[in-house]
Structure 1
Amino acid sequence: MGDWAKIRQLFSTGEHSKREIGRLVGISRATVKRALETDRLPKRQRPAMGSTFDVRAVRDKVAGIRPEYVPPDPPDRLVHEPGRQVQCDLWFPHEPLPLGNGQEGTPSVLVMTSTFSGFFQALMLPSRKILDLFGGMGSLLQTAQAVPKRLLWDNGSGIGRGKLTEPTVTFAGPWAPRRSS
């Protein structure tokens, strides 16, 4: 900015040539000519400078560690084979249901869902006792006319947490898949 003003001031006196102004200011004659061609103060434009991230070694290092910070892929779709597994759970109505004879209640409902087809069955149980639960499971399995290889329970305390309870092992005996000879 100071050079532009000085060039214009020296030229306006008429005492100096463009070559002489260039020598006095320390710039080329072409630069003096460009400065005199415009009435506006020139904008200083610096050439784009590379950052430290343009250095190949840094870019390679970042590319190497980037996979560690990538969010995990969404879960894959589970594939269930036919007859392999049935999900079992108890459901409790949010509001009382009519039970007959003018009575209402919120009985536990055993729900069994095939993980392959999504087919489900449900049965109201008279109580949450383990024998009523096993009776309901047996009834639903007989109705379905098929026994899956696996019955899956979520946190059923009567079924067992980590280890099956004795009544569960006894119940599973007759329903367990048999080897064919």
Structure 2
Amino acid sequence: MISVEDWAEIRRLHRAEQMPVRAIARKLGIARNTVRRAIADDAPPKYQRAPKGSIVDAVEPQIRELLEQWPEMPTTVIAER
């Protein structure tokens, strides 16, 4: 993934200086497809973390069952079970 600065530089070189994709790729040392993608994208790249599950996901149905039967059950008892 390229940085926001690289993205901005690619777009500047392409739009303001009319530099071809191949020349931009050579100058910045990145792949031509990366240059093409940066030119086509309207927004700068942003980091997105993959969604991560919770520790409780495996036992959530059992916890919900317990709470349906005993709504006032303390969390310490739920954790023990």
Q: TM (normalized to structure 1)?
A: 0.25
For the residues of structure 1 that align with 2:22 and 2:50, how far apart are their CA atoms?
A: 27
Gapped regions of structure 2 (runs ≥ 5):
52-78
Of the two, which has the highest radius of gyration?
1
The Cα of 1:47 is off from its aligned counterpart by 6.7
Q: 2:14 aligns with which of 4, 11, 24?
A: 11
Aligned to 2:37: 34
Q: 1:29 to 1:47 in 2, by over 3 A?
A: farther
For the residues of structure 2 that align with 1:40 and 1:15, how far apart are their CA atoms?
A: 20
What is the percent sequence identity of the aligned residues? 41
For the residues of structure 1 that align with 2:7 and 2:40, how far apart are their CA atoms?
A: 11
For the residues of structure 2 that align with 1:8 and 1:29, how far apart are their CA atoms?
A: 13
The Cα of 1:41 is off from its aligned counterpart by 1.1
CA RMSD of superposed structures (Å): 2.4
For the residues of structure 2 that align with 1:47 and 1:25, how far apart are their CA atoms?
A: 28
Q: 1:20 to 1:38 in 2, by over 3 A?
A: same
Q: TM (normalized to structure 2)?
A: 0.52
Greater relative CO, 1 or 2 (CA 8 Å, sep 6+): 2
Gapped regions of structure 1 (runs ≥ 5):
49-69, 74-181
For the residues of structure 2 that align with 1:15 and 1:36, how far apart are their CA atoms?
A: 12
> Number of residues paired by the alignment?
51
Residue 20 of structure 1 pairs with residue 23 of structure 2: yes
